[in-house]
């Protein structure tokens, strides 16, 4: 098995080292790190990259405690993932692991996450992928993160389902205080709330704040209760249950012609 390790915090982040070492510890034979050379948080599934003469820019990177191949890419995490799936960093990976992101990716705000965007891009192309995030920053309880990654990769096994997409969130708690790992639906809001506080001539001011309590049983709520969560996601799908009235009825009838 070959795994691509990527993220949106950048190739120098602590989280990517933790994830790469965990992948090796889980017995994955080949692990390659390819991640943005800058912080690409909020990039979603953007395919942005810096190019010169039609070539996207890549340089050799270095991650402490990891001896495998490391690439610092001038591109967004989803771009990197797509490139890897087409052989940019050797044989295409059998598994994509994204993270460990500094900060939660909970609720419907996952649509904006570069961490989840990289995993989603893999799943769209049929490659199983998992996005990992922790409710903390450089000083997070990494022993807890290690334990959850180990449990998830062990459960994943050696033959993961093609196109599998999981979003995993981990509370910033000592391992002894972690209450468990639970499947959870997405909350109806993300980790922060955004408010427009000022609109002026040529500028807008936004303010981010802590949102209110999430719905009980959702990923955001369970994190607060001391659980790690996992949520299976579906990367793209058409809506088959929209009520055929109004504009949809007109379009289906071909009246617009």
User: Is residue 182 situated within a structural domain?
Assistant: yes
State the Cα–Cα distance between residues 64 and 67, nearest whole angstrom: 8
Q: Give the model's pLDDT for residue 201.
A: 86
pLDDT band at 235 (very low <50, low <70, confident <90, very high): confident
Distance between alpha carbon 141 and the CA centroid of its chain, in Å?
19
CATH number of the domain enclosing 133 = 3.40.1210.10
Within a domain: 187: yes
Q: Is residue 29 part of a domain?
A: yes
Predicted confidence at residue 206, as pLDDT, reads 80
Report if residue 249 sits inside a domain.
no
Q: Is residue 251 part of a domain?
A: no
pTM of the full structure: 0.86
Is residue 249 within 8 Å of residue 189, measured between CB atoms? Answer: no
Residue 241 maps to a domain = no
Q: How many independent structural domains does the chain possess?
A: 1
| 146-169 pLDDT, tens digit each | 999 999 999 998 888 999 999 999
Averaged pLDDT, 181-196? 82
Beta strands in 53-142 (DSSP E): 55-56, 58-60, 70-73, 95-102, 129-134
Which residues form the domain of 8?
Answer: 2-236
């Amino acid at each position: 098995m070959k795994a691509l390790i990527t993220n949106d915090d950048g190739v120098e982040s602590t989280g990517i080292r933790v994830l790469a070492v965990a992948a090796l510890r889980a017995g994955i034979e080949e692990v390659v790190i390819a991640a943005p050379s800058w912080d690409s948080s909020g990039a979603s599934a953007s395919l942005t990259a810096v190019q010169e003469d039609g070539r996207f820019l890549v340089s050799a990177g270095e991650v402490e405690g990891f001896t495998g191949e490391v690439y610092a890419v001038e591109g967004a995490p989803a771009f990197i993932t797509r490139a890897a799936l087409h052989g940019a960093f050797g044989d295409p990976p059998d598994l994509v692991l994204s993270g460990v992101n500094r900060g939660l990716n909970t609720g419907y705000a996952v649509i904006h996450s570069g961490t989840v965007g990289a995993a989603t891009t893999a799943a769209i192309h049929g490659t199983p992928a998992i996005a990992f995030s922790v409710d903390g920053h450089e000083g997070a309880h990494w022993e807890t993160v290690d334990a959850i990654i180990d449990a998830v990769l062990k459960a994943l096994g050696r033959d993961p389902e093609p196109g599998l997409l999981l979003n995993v969130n981990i509370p910033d708690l000592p391992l002894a205080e972690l209450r468990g790992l639970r499947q959870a639906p997405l909350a109806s809001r993300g980790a922060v709330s955004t408010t427009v506080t000022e609109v002026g001539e040529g500028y807008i001011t936004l303010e981010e704040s802590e949102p209110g309590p999430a719905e009980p049983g959702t990923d955001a709520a369970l994190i607060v209760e001391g659980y790690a969560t996992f949520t299976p996601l579906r990367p793209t799908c058409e809506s088959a249950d929209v009520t055929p009235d109004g504009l949809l009825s007109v379009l289906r009838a071909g009246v617009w012609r």
